[in-house]
Amino acid sequence: MSVTISEFPEYLAFAYGDTPLMTYVRKPPVGPSPFATAQYPYIHPACTLRGHEVTEIKPAGHPYLHGIFLAAQNVAETNFWGPATYLPVHGYVMRDDRGEVQSQKYAVHESGGVSELLHWTSKAGIVLLEENRLIEVERVDEAESAWVLRFRYALTNVTDDWLHFATPGSDGRRDATGRPGWGYSGLFWRGPMSMQNGDVIGPETSGEQQLDGESTAWLGFTGKVGDGARATMVFVDDPENHTSWYANSSEYPGIGFGLAARQRRYLAPAATLTRDHRIVVADGAWDRDRIRAFAGEL
């Protein structure tokens, strides 16, 4: 049995035989307000092999978040996350700075993947970044009731100036303990609220406060997905990336491969930033040993 990709004008549907795996929305629809409109392509729904959805779009309180997506809160003073931009000293500010990540062209591969060219365009219509993206279902394991999403991207600065990537965490926001927090950026997963207060598991320790901002080879998240069932998401970093994780469970289920979680990142003209991530979507509540064994095979 192989992975198939069905093409539609606005989206691509990935399936394993008759089992839907995910829908990749290349051209997001306009929402009921600017705050509920995605500024980027996104994956939703993503489902386990038993049919449980593990993504959510337009959740209450954060209607601009859409499933699994790649975005950044501040790129050269353009907000690709929305709607408010966090600024040093000032905090969150509403300003007319929203950019868009726009798909330009794509190609479907028989291996179960899609390559795509995208532009990160500012409010003024200036292309800041050119992105080459690969999304593919890398592996389906029926015995483990799990499948693996590979998400690779290369961002090239196509301007004549240095570009910065910034987050609230890099620009001064602190949590109740005084630690830098809210370093959301990069590839991000927003789970359904049924998974709120799920378990965040790392190779050596557990807990969102213990793992937020840390750099580990992988991060696991287990939570409820309906009818008493549970699902596990495993986020596997490329060994060369040294991602600083964004981890949230108590407020909402969200995990991010941070680009600038604790300090600003800079990209020179013509330079390229490349990342290669895996996300495991699995049925059941996996423990640390099971996660470690599966992640070690990727």
- Average confidence (pLDDT) over 120-148: 97
- Average confidence (pLDDT) over 281-287: 98
Predicted local confidence at residue 61, as pLDDT: 86
* pLDDT top residue among 257 and 112: 257
- Average confidence (pLDDT) over 113-134: 97
Q: Please, which residues have CB within 8 angstroms of residue 165's CB and are 6 or more apart in sequence?
A: 72, 74, 75, 185, 259, 260, 264, 265, 266, 267
Predicted local confidence at residue 242, as pLDDT: 78
Domain boundaries, the chain: 3-295
Dump pLDDT digits (tens) for 252-273: 999 999 999 889 999 999 999 9
Could you give the dihedral angle defined by the CA atoms of residues 168, 91, 75 and 220, in that order, rounded to the nearest 10 degrees? 20
Predicted local confidence at residue 111, as pLDDT: 83
**Does position 286 have pLDDT exceeding 90, yes or no?**
yes
When pLDDT is cut at 50, 70 and 90, the band that residue 131 belongs to is very high
Give the CATH class of 3-295.
mainly beta
**Does position 296 have pLDDT exceeding 90, yes or no?**
yes
Predicted local confidence at residue 176, as pLDDT: 73
Predicted local confidence at residue 76, as pLDDT: 96
Predicted local confidence at residue 33, as pLDDT: 78
In whole angstroms, give the CA distance from residue 26 to residue 40. Answer: 8
- Average confidence (pLDDT) over 87-93: 89
- Average confidence (pLDDT) over 153-172: 95
**Does position 74 have pLDDT exceeding 80, yes or no?**
yes
Q: How much is the mean pLDDT over the chain?
A: 94
**Does position 164 have pLDDT exceeding 80, yes or no?**
yes
Q: Which of the residue ranges 25-34, 39-48, 243-252 would you say has the lowest mean pLDDT? A: 25-34
**Does position 182 have pLDDT exceeding 90, yes or no?**
no
Q: Please, which residues have CB within 8 angstroms of residue 206's CB and are 6 or more apart in sequence?
A: 199, 200, 288
Q: Which of the residue ranges 75-89, 144-158, 186-200 would you say has the lowest mean pLDDT? A: 75-89
**Does position 31 have pLDDT exceeding 80, yes or no?**
no
Q: Please, which residues have CB within 8 angstroms of residue 216's CB and are 6 or more apart in sequence?
A: 202, 203, 204, 237, 245
Dump pLDDT digits (tens) for 234-247: 999 988 887 899 99
In whole angstroms, give the CA distance from residue 169 to residue 179. Answer: 9
CB atoms within 10 A of CB 82: 23
Q: Which of the residue ranges 29-38, 111-120, 280-289 would you say has the lowest mean pLDDT? A: 29-38
Cβ atoms 254, 261 nearer than 8 A: no
In whole angstroms, give the CA distance from residue 279 to residue 164. Answer: 26
